[in-house]
Amino acid sequence: MSSIKDRVIGIIAEQAVLEPSDVTMDSTLEDLGIDSLGLVESIFAIEEEFDISVPFNANAPEESDFDISSVASLISGIEKLIEEQS
């Protein structure tokens, strides 16, 4: 089974229509060309992949406690959620 990091990068790469190797830990979703709709779709895909609920409000992303400023922060947040919700 691939790591959480690899699975998240796979989801983000698919959303950005890139190869996983093009997604770096310090990329922002904007760098990768993911817009707000792409972000929402990524979050849904991540929730399904890991069977978790991501505390993210697409209508007010700046009010979310969930840090989506970079790929690394996204992965770190998802790892925390998986621990808390398992």
pLDDT above 70 (res 1)? no
DSSP assignment, residue 17? T
Domain that holds residue 38: 4-85
Higher pLDDT: 72 or 36? It is 72
- pLDDT band for position 73 (50/70/90)? very high
**Chain-wide mean pLDDT for the chain?**
91
- What CATH number does residue 46 fall under? 1.10.1200.10
Evaluate if pTM is beyond 0.75: yes
- Give the chain's domain count: 1
